[in-house]
Amino acid sequence: MESTGASGDLLALAGDGLLAGRAADGDSRAFGILIRRHAPVLRAYVNRITRRPSDTDDVLQEVALAAWQALPQLQNPDAVKGWLFRIAERQAFAMLRKQPQTAEIDEELPSADDSLARFDDRDLLRGALSRLPAQQARVWVLREVGGLSYDEIAEELDVPVSTVRGALVLARKKLLDVMGGTA
Amino acid sequence: MTDARPPSGPFEDLDGHTLDELVDYLDRGRTPLDPGIEASPACRIALAGLERLRLMAGGLLEEDAALERTHPDCWMTTVLDRISLEARPGRRFPVPGLPPGTEATVTEGALRGLVRAVGDSVPGLLTGRVRIEPQEPGDRMDLDIEVSMFYGFPIEDTVAEFRRRVVEILPRQAPFTVGRLDVRVADVVELPGAGAP
Does B80 sit within 8 Å of A32, measured CB to CB?
Answer: yes
Indicate whether B164 and B99 sit together in one domain. yes
Q: Which of residues 139-168 of B touch A (CB under 8 A)?
A: 146, 148, 150
Residues of A in contact with B20 (CB under 8 A): 165, 168-169
What range does the domain containing A128 cover?
Answer: 118-183
Indicate whether A136 and A173 sit together in one domain. yes
CA-to-CA distance for B125 and B170, rounded, in angstroms? 18
- How many contacts (CB atoms, under 8 Å) link A and B? 199
Residue B192: predicted pLDDT: 80
Indicate whether B121 and B177 sit together in one domain. yes
In a domain? residue B3: no
First to last CA, chain B: 58
**Residue A118: burial class (beta carbons within 10 Å; 0-12, 13-18, 19+):** exposed
The type of residue at B81 is D
The mean per-residue pLDDT over the stretch B108-136 comes to: 94
Closest CA to A55 of A8, A95, A12: A95
In a domain? residue A72: yes
The mean per-residue pLDDT over the stretch B141-149 comes to: 96
Residues of A in contact with B185 (CB under 8 A): none
Contact (CB, 8 A) for B132 and B140: no
Indicate whether A87 and A123 sit together in one domain. no
Q: How near does any CA of chain B get to the CA of A21, in Å?
A: 5
Across the interface, which of A14, A28, A45 has its CB nearest the CB of B126? A14
Indicate whether B183 and B98 sit together in one domain. yes
In tens, the pLDDT along B16-55 reads: 899 989 999 999 999 999 999 999 999 999 999 999 999 8
Residues of A in contact with B117 (CB under 8 A): 1-3
Q: Is B16 left (phi over 0), alpha (psi -120 to 50) or beta?
A: left
Kind and range of the H or E element at A87? Answer: helix A80-98
Alpha helices by DSSP H, chain B: 19-27, 35-38, 41-67, 74-83, 108-120, 155-173
In a domain? residue A22: yes
Indicate whether B115 and B176 sit together in one domain. yes
3-state secondary structure of B11: coil
Across the interface, which of A14, A68, A125 has its CB nearest the CB of B60? A125
Does A26 sit within 8 Å of B88, measured CB to CB?
Answer: yes
Regarding predicted confidence, which is higher, B147 or B196? Answer: B147
Of the listed ranges B28-37, B86-95, B186-195, the one predicted with least confidence: B186-195
Indicate whether B103 and B153 sit together in one domain. yes
Residue B85: predicted pLDDT: 73
Who contacts B94 (Cβ-Cβ below 8 Å, separation ≥6)? Answer: B103, B104, B105, B138
In a domain? residue A42: yes
Indicate whether A75 and A140 sit together in one domain. no
CATH of the domain at B112: 3.30.70.1350
In a domain? residue B1: no
In tens, the pLDDT along B151-190 reads: 999 999 999 999 999 999 999 988 899 999 999 999 999 8
Number of C-alpha atoms within 13 angstroms, CB side, residue B191? 16
Q: Which residue of B has its CA nearest to A121?
A: B56
In a domain? residue B7: no
Q: At what angle do helices B155-173 and B108-120 cross, to 10 degrees?
A: 140
- Touching check for B69 and chain A: CB below 8 Å? yes
Weakly modelled stretches of chain A, pLDDT under 50: 1-6, 103, 114-118, 181-183
Across the interface, which of B61, B82, B88 has its CB nearest the CB of A25? B88
Residue B10: predicted pLDDT: 62
In a domain? residue B173: yes
CA-to-CA distance for B142 and A99, rounded, in angstroms? 51
Q: How confident is the model at residue B69 (pLDDT cuts 50, 70, 90)?
A: low
In a domain? residue A6: no
Residue A109: predicted pLDDT: 62
Contact (CB, 8 A) for A80 and A122: no
Indicate the number of domains in chain B.
2
Indicate whether B54 and B95 sit together in one domain. no
- For residue A50, what are the CA distances in angstroms to A57, A135, B59, B156? 12, 9, 19, 50
Indicate whether A94 and A163 sit together in one domain. no
- For residue A174, what are the CA distances in angstroms to A178, B42, B69, B73? 6, 16, 29, 35
Residue B87: predicted pLDDT: 75
Indicate whether A58 and A98 sit together in one domain. yes
CB atoms within 10 A of CB A117: 7
Mutate which of B20, B54, B67, B108 to disrupt the A interface (most A C-beta within 10 Å)? B67
Does B18 sit within 8 Å of A169, measured CB to CB?
Answer: yes
Indicate the number of domains in chain A.
2
Who contacts B29 (Cβ-Cβ below 8 Å, separation ≥6)? Answer: none
In a domain? residue B108: yes
Last residue of some domain: A43, A67, A102? A102
Indicate whether B110 and B152 sit together in one domain. yes
In a domain? residue A171: yes
Query: Distance between alpha carbon B140 and the CA centroid of its chain, in Å?
Result: 30
What range does the domain containing B106 cover?
Answer: 90-189
- Touching check for B54 and chain A: CB below 8 Å? yes
Indicate whether A28 and A87 sit together in one domain. yes
Residues listed for chain B: 197
Does A39 sit within 8 Å of B56, measured CB to CB?
Answer: no
Last residue of some domain: A102, A135, A160? A102
CATH of the domain at A129: 1.10.10.10
- Touching check for B49 and chain A: CB below 8 Å? yes
Indicate whether A74 and A50 sit together in one domain. yes
Q: Which residue of A has its CA nearest to B77?
A: A32
For β-strands B177-189 and B92-94, DSSP reports them as unpaired
